[in-house]
Amino acid sequence: MVNREVFERRKGEFNDLVELLLAHRSGKDMDTERWANTIAYACLGENHLWQDLKLQNRQELSDILEKHFKPLFDKNTHDMKWKKFFYKQLCEMEGVYVCKSPSCGVCIDYHKCFGPED
């Protein structure tokens, strides 16, 4: 998981992720707020998001996101890997487009954003 030094250095990023998740929450219960913080913190890790959350698989993460952050879940229409999807959303909100290609379908890094997460 993320050590304290890394967290302190990336705290702004963490806050942006929490804000993104809460802006797309399905309800205003404490469970959803806890999940927003937990997911944002895990995004600072180096593995696939579901792995850093200590979940069994990506589907388990998708189920959590569908339940607690349905509007955001619904935006991921092409099943992009969740962590990449969240960061792409943040970039788009800021008007920053760092992708190498005009569309995902023609990008040479397609496999890094989509596909199996083994």
What's the pLDDT at 2? 80
- Nearest CA-CA partner of 22 in 7, 37, 10, 12: 37
pLDDT tens-digit series, residues 26-52: 998 999 999 999 999 999 998 999 999
What's the pLDDT at 110? 62
Backbone torsions φ then ψ of 19, nearest 5 degrees? -60, -45
Where b means 16+ CB within 10 Å and e means fewer, 13-50 reads ebebbbebbbebbeeeeeebbebbeebbbbbbeeebbb
Residue-level pLDDT, tens digit, the chain, 118 residues: 688 888 898 899 999 999 999 999 999 899 999 999 999 999 999 899 999 999 999 999 999 999 999 999 999 998 989 998 998 898 888 766 666 545 555 566 666 666 676 6
Q: Where are the domains of the chain?
A: 4-113
What's the pLDDT at 109? 67
